[in-house]
Amino acid sequence: MSTYSSRKEVPEHEKWDVSDIYSSLDEWREDVAVIEEMTVKLKEFDGKIEDGHSLYDFLSMQEKLSFHLSKVVVYARLQVDVDTRDKKAESILDEATQLSVKASTAVSFFRPFILSLDKSTLQEYISEVEGLTYFEDDLMDLFRYKPHVLSKEKEEVLTQLGEALSSPSKTFGMINNADIKFGLVTKDDGEKVELTRGMYEKLLKNEDRNKRKEAYHAYYKPYVELNNTIASTLSSAIKTNVTVSKMKNYPSALEKSLFADQVPKEVYDKLIEATKNHLAPYHRYQKIRKEMLGVDELRQYDLSIPLVKGVDKDIPYNEAYDLMLKALAPLGEEYVETLAEFKDKRYIDVRETPGKRSGAYNMGLYGVHPFVLLNHQDNLNSLFTLAHEMGHAMHSYLSAKHQPQITAGYTIFVAEVASTVNEVLLIHYLLNQSTDDKTRKYLVNDFIDKFKGTFFTQVMFANFEKDTHELAEAGKPLTAEVFNEVYEQLFREYNGPDMVFDEEVKYGWSRIPHFYRPFYVYKYATGFAAAIQLANGLLENKEGAKEAYLEFLQSGSSDYPLELLKKAGVDLTTSEPIEKALAFFTELVDEFEGK
């Protein structure tokens, strides 16, 4: 059974156990009081850090506060997510959020203070107090930002303008989530109803092409109507990013975004260049899609419908978990046994129930364990989601087990690697186990489409961000017409000659929230490519591959992401991982075509 009318019906062993964080709300409140007290004490350090001892006292207390605050916030978050209608849970999450803001404000003086010191003074403090070596890497990393920090007065002005500078993103969020009204679609009984996002995803996979076409036009209707308004918000967001980057002495907005992870601009450029040089297999797949669908013209609303029908079989949760464990055997007995225990120890909330947050996620909690939210539907898609999220969960678990608190968390740059490695191992296992051609073809098609969404589409988005920021940096206008032209040109280039382009295609940029978090989407593609190379090393039983990969999972943020991946065997400063991933895509298309 995969659908339940209430949470009470779900077996206990398929619900996560939040008592692993706090045994009761009273215990949670005790920690809230501890955080309140520490927040007051931390604020008192402002202007009073004068030597290594006071610096150590501040940093130790700040880390302790961070530990307690994470528990308080996650405990509240998990309870809201299993029932978003629960007012009591919402109330404690509000309380936790306000507490988090208060704590952040209390320590906001610290970064400017550290950057006001000479490096020699800080090194003197570290040599003074042995315990400061624990914080040394983080403190010294802050000094990388010194050339990009303005005067105290200017930094204060920028901080005060923070809310105003983020308004384009907030405005788009309100337009996209609250104000947009999609066009009408026809139900099976002939009644006209307003399209919703959930309906749109399903209708794009409908066998009836007229229904797909109707849904496509209804979905894009508000984006076409609001084209100038949304162009204004995105233009403002890009220009703000460009202006702040210039003010802070970065060579470009792109390099400002890459700075924290110490990623050279060449990594971004090589990703786009290598992908553009290997678009032919993707174009060939579009041609295959057109032929298999039997349409005279392949259009955008034909890109989501599965090409192999009647294979998606029922896979109960317990069977899915066992399949996943078998598929992950190349990671070794200890990995598989640990992951098997996650199910029995109730780290996972499995079932869809009324009011539960949609989708799936992993939330690692240092000092406790990972918590995984699913909405498992006993099908192939849910099996892949399970493998994906448990990849994240094992990354969180192993990093927390092997790293101190300060380096236990991993960066977004490497976040999708562990999840995608699991998916690649799973697809290979299922292909090896499949006994009929139809099932095999279905699996290959499913992974090709996954590759398309996680890699090609994200690189195209990254290309759009780079082009539009460069236009702003050159002082060129960013109007709706400019955005439409740039996006349509890229869409045509990436999707190839076998597509016929509806008028709506050029408005695609206007529906992407990620564009308000600039130069973020490329990490999906680099993570995906890195994961394919790592998974292939595991499958080929390459010497040292398993040990190097497990060490990567244990490393948290103990080094910069490119260095961690190099140690695991992937060098993203070269084109090799991208080219290997694209070669794998070519193999998938070849098999699907029957070559």
Catalytic center residues: 389
Whether the CB-CB separation of 330 and 541 falls below 8 Å is answered with: yes
| Rounded Cα–Cα distance for residues 518 and 9 (Å) | 43
Write down the residue that tokens 């076998």 correspond to.
Answer: 498
| Rounded Cα–Cα distance for residues 417 and 531 (Å) | 5
Start-to-end CA distance of the chain, whole Å, equals 40
Host H or E run for residue 376: strand 371-376
Give Cα 114 distance to the centre of its chain: 31
Sequence-distant (6+) residues with CB within 8 A of 299 are 213, 216, 499, 500, 501, 502
Sequence-distant (6+) residues with CB within 8 A of 26 are none
Q: Please, where are the H alpha helices in 191-264?
A: 197-203, 209-225, 227-247, 253-259
| Rounded Cα–Cα distance for residues 81 and 92 (Å) | 13
| Rounded Cα–Cα distance for residues 292 and 495 (Å) | 17
Sequence-distant (6+) residues with CB within 8 A of 412 are 520, 523
| Beta strand pairing call for 371-376 and 348-351 | parallel
Question: Sign (positive/negative) of CA torsion 260, 262, 266, 268?
Answer: negative
Host H or E run for residue 351: strand 348-351
Q: Indicate the SS3 state at residue 373.
A: strand
| Rounded Cα–Cα distance for residues 297 and 223 (Å) | 24
In the DSSP assignment, the letter for residue 454 is I
Tokens of 399: 């990093």
Total residue length of the chain? 595
Q: Please, where are the H alpha helices in 370-521?
A: 380-402, 405-408, 412-433, 437-451, 457-473, 480-495
Sequence-distant (6+) residues with CB within 8 A of 495 are 282, 283, 286
In the DSSP assignment, the letter for residue 23 is S
Whether the CB-CB separation of 186 and 192 falls below 8 Å is answered with: yes
Strand partners, 351: 376
Sequence-distant (6+) residues with CB within 8 A of 184 are 192, 193, 194, 195, 218
| Rounded Cα–Cα distance for residues 459 and 278 (Å) | 12
22: left (phi over 0), alpha (psi -120 to 50) or beta: beta
Give Cα 446 distance to the centre of its chain: 20
